[in-house]
Amino acid sequence: MSSTETKTGSLAGLKVIDLTRVLGGPYCTQILGDHGATVLKVEPPQGDETRDWGPPFEHGLSAYFAGLNRNKRAMALDLSKPQGRDVLMRLLADADVFFENYKIGTLEGWGIGPDELQKRFPRLVHARISGFGDNGPFGKMPGYDGAVQAWSGLISINGNPESGPVRMGISVVDMVTGLYAANGILMALRERERSGKGQFLEVALYDAAISILLPYAHNWLMSGKAPTMQGNTSPNISPYDLFKTKTESLFLATGNDRQFHRLCDELGKPELGKDPRFTTNADRVKNRAALRAALEDAFASVDGKELATKMMHYGVPAGAALSIPDVLQHPQTIARDMVVQTGRFRGTGIPVKMSRTPGSPGSEPPAFGADSRAVLAEAGYSDAEIDALIESGVVPRERKALR
């Protein structure tokens, strides 16, 4: 999107300079862009490596990159060169947010770390995503989602005793970190309205991962009993598990006694609800194996999707275990606009539905350096200066091979 176009949405007018790569940071800035912020993605000469994370590829972009980088402009900049840092300073002059995930110490070594930037741009909100933060035994070390899932204990509670520890199938740590970063940025901007001052904020993947260990961390802190892998079950609720049916598997997520008794009635098994082994949730957790055996018998001859839908109509939380293609074509997904077209690409929709200032999937993800020349011109560089920056490699035309 050029500066002449008018963006709408709750964050219209917010200017974000985004130096993040891979998942957590780009996920955060895509959220901001979906809701109207003007986001400039500034890539190093090598580009964002997720441009190469495929197949599949379409129109020169990987599905991975396309899923994280809509609603952004893009330019390339070599910050290892003083002229590149000069360009960045000019871009930050009227920015609200500067967001980066460089290895801790890199920007400081170039003289543009948090302290220097806060002095130069006192209203700037400077956000950083890191692996482990800047202190502690792992301080300043890099982190990727899978490794942090291991260090944080997430994989120790995923899977079952037969499978052993299993990485969660989505990059949940990266995505949660991106969500925390979006919240942190908006909190800092809200505080700036009162104080007139920006600030530096950091979100570490490790911290974010530990924050979502509910209830396993809290169970151990209260009981001293180490959690074990339980497959699809919950350590605190029963029945909360995946069951086989004649067709799709069925997930029951009964959260209270009323829901459980209603389930028993609808299954034509009211006696289960009256069984003293299953009367309360605590009873059912204690006798989960016996309850599971009784429910498996009841589900063996039923259609999983039909039963899950029926249970939901009766107020019992349940879900059919659908495939990703089934989900993306499901009437509920379509009704909620959760598959959207963005230029030449399709992607997932916007989950925050606002009444007056709705978000928009907007512009398609950009090619490498697609807006470099336009952005520099808007920042006040002459054509001759732009040509010189491009010829010198400060503003690369094409991606440099990563070594």
* Shared-domain flag, residues 30 and 165: yes
Rounded to the nearest integer, the mean pLDDT of the chain is 95
pLDDT tens for 62-101 read 999 999 999 999 999 999 999 999 999 999 999 999 999 9
pLDDT, average across residues 160-169: 92
pLDDT, average across residues 317-346: 95
Residues known to be catalytic: 174
CATH of the domain at 151: 3.40.50.10540
* Shared-domain flag, residues 41 and 160: yes
340 pLDDT higher than 60: yes
385: in domain: yes
> Total domain count for the chain?
2
* Shared-domain flag, residues 207 and 348: yes
pLDDT tens for 229-247 read 989 999 999 999 999 999 9
pLDDT, average across residues 37-62: 96
* Shared-domain flag, residues 160 and 108: yes
pLDDT, average across residues 369-394: 97
pLDDT confidence of residue 3: 45
Reduced DSSP (H G I as helix, E B as strand, rest coil) percent helix, strand, coil of the chain, to 5: 40, 15, 45
* Shared-domain flag, residues 157 and 74: yes
* Shared-domain flag, residues 258 and 385: no
CA distance 280 to 284: 6
29 pLDDT higher than 90: yes
pLDDT, average across residues 151-169: 93
* Range(s) of the domain holding residue 368: 15-212+343-391
The residue out of 282, 297, 328 marking a domain boundary is 328
Percent of residues, the chain, with pLDDT higher than 90: 93
pLDDT confidence of residue 403: 63
pLDDT tier for residue 4 given thresholds of 50, 70 and 90: very low
pLDDT confidence of residue 5: 54
Name residue 61's beta-bridge partners: 58
Residue type, 194: R
pLDDT confidence of residue 2: 45
pLDDT tier for residue 8 given thresholds of 50, 70 and 90: confident
384 pLDDT higher than 60: yes
5: in domain: no
Would you call the peptide bond into 55 cis, given omega within 30 degrees of 0 as the criterion? Answer: yes
160: in domain: yes
79: in domain: yes
1 pLDDT higher than 50: no
pLDDT tens for 256-296 read 999 999 999 988 899 999 999 999 999 999 999 999 999 99
pLDDT tens for 122-139 read 999 999 999 999 999 999
205: in domain: yes
pLDDT, average across residues 208-237: 94
Residue 149 is encoded by which pair of tokens? 């899932």
pLDDT tens for 353-366 read 999 999 999 999 99
The residue out of 294, 328, 362 marking a domain boundary is 328
CATH of the domain at 275: 3.30.1540.10
> By three-state DSSP, how is residue 320 classified?
strand
* Shared-domain flag, residues 168 and 278: no
55: in domain: yes
* Shared-domain flag, residues 317 and 181: no
16 pLDDT higher than 70: yes
Residue 229 is encoded by which pair of tokens? 């892998």
121: in domain: yes
* Shared-domain flag, residues 41 and 144: yes
* Shared-domain flag, residues 181 and 50: yes
* Shared-domain flag, residues 268 and 309: yes
> By three-state DSSP, how is residue 240 classified?
strand
The residue out of 328, 353, 369 marking a domain boundary is 328
* Shared-domain flag, residues 178 and 59: yes
CA distance 88 to 76: 11
402 pLDDT higher than 80: no
78: in domain: yes
